[in-house]
Amino acid sequence: MKIQIINGPNLNLLGVREPTIYGSGTFTEFFETLKSKYPTVEFEYFQSNTEGCLIDKIHEVGFDCDGIVLNAGAYTHTSVALLDAIKAVTAPVIEVHISNVHCREEFRHHSMISSGCKGVICGFGLDSYRLAVEAILNFRQ
Ligand code: DQA
């Protein structure tokens, strides 16, 4: 079972960036805990602040892995190109958000990418990623 986690712009600053919204833990710390919880799953992690690099990664892994957990950050709300990349590959993509985007500014209420995704999880802090992993494990078994 291979699961790719992809984080978009500004998510390299988790732990530092707006901790009241995104928490004070780093993604690296969380990722180590996640890997230890699922020792049989092969996890890969990728983060980029650049839209094209996120698209390239989806193309690279999207015909091979069992699922992609994608937090596209602000590109969620703007990127038709990411939606097209998600639709182009065969691996199921789960859209995740740390915060509950529906409780925030109006511009965060709409996702450009949801219609290409298998499902959406938001609002559970970093646990949103683990819930997405659980979802992939459940429908892949
Ligand atoms: C986010 C929500 C987005 O609106 C925002 O631009 C982010 C993070 C989240 O995980 O809550 O960068 O995707």
Distance, CA of 130 to chain centre: 10
Ligand 1: nearest atom to the Cα of 9: 12
Q: Decide if 59 is catalytic.
A: no
pTM for this structure? 0.97
Measured between alpha carbons, how far is 106 from 109 in angstroms, rounded to an integer? 5
pLDDT, residue 128, reads 98
Q: For each successive 10 residues of the chain (141 residues), what is the average pLDDT?
A: 98 96 96 98 98 98 98 98 98 98 98 98 98 95 73
Q: How far is the CA of 92 from the centre of ligand 1 (A)?
A: 20
Q: How far is the CA of 88 from the centre of ligand 1 (A)?
A: 23
Q: In what order do the strands lie in the sheet with 67-71?
A: 42-47, 2-7, 67-71, 93-97, 119-122
Measured between alpha carbons, how far is 34 from 40 in angstroms, rounded to an integer? 11
